Chains A and B, each alone.
Chain A
Amino acid sequence: MNITEKIIAAHAGRDKVTPGELVSVKIDLALANDITAPGAILEFAKIGVGQVFDKDKVVIVPDHFTPNKDIASAEQAKMVREFAGAQDLTNYFEIGQMGIEHALLPELGLVLPGDLVIGADSHTCTYGGMGAFSTGMGSTDLAAAFATGETWLKVPSSLKFNLEGTLGSWVTGKDIILYIIGKIGVDGALYKAMEFTGGAISALSMDSRFSICNMAIEAGGKNGIIAADATTRAYVAERSDRPYTVFESDADAVYEQVLEFRAEDIELQVAFPHLPSNARGLSDVGEVAVDQVVIGSCTNGRIEDLRIAAKILKGQKVHRGLRLIVIPATQKIYKQAMNEGLFDIFIDAGAAISTPTCGPCLGGHMGVLAAGERALATTNRNFVGRMGHKDSEVYLAGPAVAAATAIAGKIVGPEAS
């Protein structure tokens, strides 16, 4: 079996599972946020069990429209807060202690290798970066999981993406995943597991691994996964004492397809509107002027991203007329960036720094676009109207291109800024 099949089998109480089978699995964590939890709470009430299956394993993070963007979102946040209080949830994270959910959970050691996690948020697939099986679902699925601690899954077939070689300077996990989505398309991994292997993957930081698995959903994938290794173990050791199991794919594991890539072929990437699959190498971008740059999100709001951006922005100024918004993904990252002096660099350059929120990524708040405006963002989606008006545009890239673009006022790489 491959790693995805092994984790599903272990949680289904089975020795073996095969792609296409429907299985019932026990879950280690069930996650929802301020947008999806209200629906889950309403549906959960209809089931009539009263208490959630395990108050330690239901996690709620109000991160999308918080700090509340308007009265309606405040009402939703209040409903979620009251539910967390009534259920005495251990893992409810209020403003001031929270972060963007998919950065926060690994950081706190709430997800470990070998876990099976479901979340009412499509980017729940992020935790594959540490060798867990995690996937997004809707509010009703979460409601059922809140009640039973179980869910049903169709065992996915797996695609293996093997990346050998050495990445170029400034190239990170974001470029790798945009490059791959550019090759296979937004439904290139529909319903499938995306397993990432090879020397160039092993050499990656945890932050880059999270970025890659985070965007598996943008290829239609059920989950992205990178087997835990020494880098993962070191990351986990600082965060949790809970025992965990490291699963690895067998030598004779079955894949629907194995795709081989060379790290040297992966340039810094930019995905043009209006699909993440419209990825191009930086050398093919041409002249694209930009009104706003956002550095943040569950994809790229981690310390590695902020350090890269700061390296490029140091002693530089944001281009006149362009807005640069930097959003550290969690309170811990926020403090770390501040202590490392990154905030001085950002503020001296003329950037705004925000408290953790998903905000602008989904056109919620903290940087919504007007008609005709164009943003380059380190976020994960560039659909029509994603960041605001339906006649605005979003270009996706990693932190290096974002920082360089903020200085130049048009899409460029760090060498040009």
Chain B
Amino acid sequence: MKITGKAHKFGRDIDTDIIIPAQYLTTFDPDELAKHCMEPLDDEFKANVAPGDIIVADENFGCGSSREHAPVAIKGAGIGAIIAKSFARIFYRNAINTGLPIFESPEAVDGISAGDEVSVDVVAGVITNTTTGKTYQTPPFTGHLAEIIEAGGLIEFTKKRVKG
């Protein structure tokens, strides 16, 4: 699977109250949540995202709350993948569980500027900055995580397990 789009750059410690403020946590509808995605930082975020665009952020992306509405809002806004220097732990799990591709690559983050055209080969873990021509390899998912991704998310994975 290949995701291609424009890079939206963010700094470090982008918290879940920025990704989706708590006042909107009265629904799990992706379209509804997407309307308010990143609102405290950028009112126009959703309007500026084309399907497949990619968030590129510094350390500790998604810190704070356990709200799964955060990856759901980001996906709902049309974002195809996130590349960050590091992710907060609960956000990382939530993204995997809800099928939002995420990649840790400090080099790629430093090598991508806002507005660059970026493509990500999700399975191979290869990030290409089409604007600069540079590529970055991220470690592939292994073990339990790979099984969850392969099954199509945690729910599908669990379904198979409970059926034995």
Interface size on A, residues (CB 8 A): 53
Q: Are A49 and B89 in contact (CB under 8 A)?
A: no
Contact check: which of B63, B67, B88, B162 meets A147 at CB < 8 Å?
B162
Stretch at the interface among B48-56, B108-116, B123-131, B152-160: B152-160
In Å, the complex CA distance between A38 and B25 comes to: 10
B17 partner, pick from A35, A141, A362, beta carbons under 8 A = A362
The residue that B63 contacts in the complex, of A46, A64, A143, A187, with Cβ under 8 A, is A187
Contacts of B98 in A (CB 8 A): 138, 140
A187 touches B88 (CB 8 A): yes
Cβ B89 vs Cβ A222 within 8 A: yes
- With A38-B28, A187-B60 as given contacts, are A383 and B15 in contact (CB-CB < 8 Å)? yes
Q: Is A72 in the interface zone, CB < 8 Å from B?
A: yes
Chain A residues 18 to 77 lying within 8 A of chain B, measured CB to CB, are 22, 24, 35-36, 38-39, 42-43, 46-49, 64-65, 70, 72-73, 75-76
- Judge if A144 is at the interface, Cβ distance under 8 Å: yes
Bound complex: CA A277 to CA B159 (Å)? 41
Given contacts A362-B22, A383-B17, contact A47 B159 (CB under 8 A): yes
State A42–B161 Cα separation when bound (angstroms). 18
- Set of chain B residues within 8 Å of A275, measured between Cβ atoms: 13
> B66's contact among A24, A42, A48, A122, by CB below 8 Å, is which?
A122
> Chain B: how many interface residues by the 8 Å CB criterion?
42
Residues of chain A within 8 A (CB-CB) of B158 are 47, 143-144, 147-148
Using A70-B26, A148-B162, A383-B17 as known contacts, say yes or no to A35 and B67 having CB atoms under 8 A apart: yes
Q: Are A47 and B155 in contact (CB under 8 A)?
A: yes
Q: How far is the CA of A220 from the CA of B59 in the complex (A)?
A: 11
Beta-carbon contact of B26 and A46 below 8 Å? no
Question: Could you say which of A3-11, A302-310, A384-392 contacts chain B?
Answer: A384-392
Q: Does B4 contact A (CB under 8 A)?
A: no
Q: Which residue of B lies closest to A46 (CB)?
A: B155
**Contact between A190 and B88 (Cβ–Cβ < 8 Å)?**
yes
Asked if residues B18 and A383 are in contact (CB atoms below 8 Å), the reply is: yes
Q: Provided the pairs A46-B155, A385-B18, A385-B21 are in contact, do residues A137 and B40 lie with their beta carbons within 8 angstroms? A: no
The docked-state distance in angstroms from the alpha carbon of A18 to that of B143 is 16
Smallest CB separation, A344 vs chain B (Å): 33
Check: A152 CB closer than 8 A to any chain B CB.
Answer: yes
Flag A263-290 by CB within 8 Å of B: 1 or 0 each. Answer: 0000000000001000000000000000
A144 interface neighbour in B15, B86, B94, B154, Cβ under 8 Å:
B154
B89 touches which of A120, A140, A190 (Cβ 8 Å): A190
Contact with B along A319-336 (1 / 0, CB 8 A): 000000000000000000
Contact with B along A378-399 (1 / 0, CB 8 A): 0001011110001000000000
**B90 lies within 8 A of A383 (CB):** no
> Would A384 and B90 be within 8 Å (CB), given that A73-B26, A187-B63, A220-B63 are in contact?
no
- Determine whether the beta carbon of A381 is less than 8 Å from that of B86: no
Contact with A along B55-99 (1 / 0, CB 8 A): 000011001111111000000000000000010111001100110
Name the residue of chain A whose CB is nearest to the CB of B145: A22
A389 to B55, alpha carbons, bound, how many Å? 25
Q: Are A187 and B162 in contact (CB under 8 A)?
A: no
Q: How far is the CA of A363 from the CA of B39 in the complex (A)?
A: 14
A223-259: contact bitstring with B at CB < 8 Å (1 yes, 0 no)? 0000000000000000000000000000000000000
Kindly state the separation between the CA atoms of A138 and B97 in the bound complex, as whole angstroms: 9
Give per-residue flags for B1-44: 1 if the beta carbon is below 8 A from chain A beta carbons, else 0: 00000000000010101100111011110000000000111000
Which residues on the B side are within 8 Å of A148 (C-beta)?
Answer: 158, 161-162
Nearest first, the 8 closest Cβ-Cβ pairs linking A and B are A72-B26, A138-B94, A138-B68, A362-B22, A390-B40, A140-B97, A187-B60, A385-B40
Q: List 17 contacting pairs A-B, 8 Å CB cutoff, sorted by A.
A: A48-B159, A64-B22, A65-B26, A138-B66, A138-B93, A138-B94, A139-B28, A140-B153, A141-B97, A143-B158, A144-B155, A187-B88, A190-B86, A362-B17, A363-B23, A381-B17, A390-B39
Interface residues of B (CB under 8 A from A): 13, 15, 17-18, 21-23, 25-28, 39-41, 59-60, 63-69, 86, 88-90, 93-94, 97-98, 143-145, 153-155, 157-159, 161-162
List 8 other contacts, CB 8 Å, given A22-B145, A122-B65, A383-B64: A22-B144, A47-B155, A65-B25, A122-B66, A144-B157, A190-B60, A191-B89, A364-B22
